[in-house]
């Protein structure tokens, strides 16, 4: 009976160890990519359940081992230390991320790539390339133009028009490319 109980307890404990390691992986991803924050936050809500399950199963295993006067719980102590190290690392990462988010008053979501976890992170400058009249290149041009200029609320209509005109070739160049 105790052999079966030991196998079950070890299986459940191993599941808790796997869950905390996965949670740590999500935490590290969220730490370097703010767009992963919502996934991490959802999984983080399980952290206390995972710890309770680990503690319960590890205690059961230790109790069963200590029923034998020669029982050695060194492995169980090592596993517990490793579990707790991962557990506290996850909690620390969560606290760091939520603290940085509350400082910026920005709650990230998967569609908001403008939210930045690290203030010193600099993205490369995007340049609007000229449209040279090739119709196959127009979808790329207009998509980039809309993202950088047209949808930019900080630009006036006159500025947007200027960017559009300066991104287009002279009218004569367009007429010569026409196959009509």
Task: Tell me the whole-structure pTM to 2 decimals.
Answer: 0.57
- Cα dihedral 83→87→92→95 (10° resolution): 180
**151 and 94 in a common domain:** no
Q: What is the pLDDT of residue 121?
A: 52
CA distance 135 to 104: 43
**164 and 84 in a common domain:** no
**pLDDT averaged per 10 residues, the chain (length 180):** 89 95 92 84 93 96 91 92 94 88 59 45 65 80 79 83 82 56
**152 and 98 in a common domain:** no
**100 and 17 in a common domain:** yes
Query: Which of the listed residues 63, 89, 104 is the one where a domain comes to its end?
Result: 104
Give the chain's domain count. Answer: 2
Q: What is the pLDDT of residue 78?
A: 92
Give pLDDT tens digits for 41-86.
899 999 999 999 999 999 999 999 999 888 899 999 999 999 999 9
Q: What is the pLDDT of residue 124?
A: 60
**What's the token pair of residue 105?**
């008053």
Q: How far, in Å, are 70, 74, 99, 125 from residue 141 at the CA level?
A: 75, 64, 39, 16
State which residues form the domain around 55. Answer: 2-104
**170 and 96 in a common domain:** no
**150 and 97 in a common domain:** no
**140 and 92 in a common domain:** no
**What's the token pair of residue 1?**
């009976």
CA 177 to chain centre: 46
């Amino acid at each position: 009976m105790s052999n079966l109980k030991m196998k079950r307890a070890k299986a459940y404990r191993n599941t808790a160890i796997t869950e905390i390691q996965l949670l740590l992986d999500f935490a590290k991803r969220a730490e370097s990519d703010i767009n992963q924050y919502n996934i991490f936050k959802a999984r983080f809500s399980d952290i206390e359940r995972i710890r309770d399950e680990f503690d319960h199963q590890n205690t059961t295993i230790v109790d069963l081992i200590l029923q034998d006067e020669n029982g050695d719980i060194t492995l169980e102590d090592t596993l517990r230390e490793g579990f707790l190290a991962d557990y506290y690392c996850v909690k620390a990462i969560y606290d760091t991320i939520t603290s940085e988010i509350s400082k910026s008053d920005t709650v990230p979501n998967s569609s908001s790539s403008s939210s930045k976890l690290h203030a010193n992170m600099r993205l490369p400058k995007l340049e609007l390339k000229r449209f040279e009249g090739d119709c196959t290149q127009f979808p790329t041009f207009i998509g980039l133009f809309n993202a950088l200029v047209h949808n930019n609320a900080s630009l006036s209509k006159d500025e947007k028009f200027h960017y559009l005109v300066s991104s287009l070739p002279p009218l004569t160049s367009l007429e010569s490319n026409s196959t009509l």
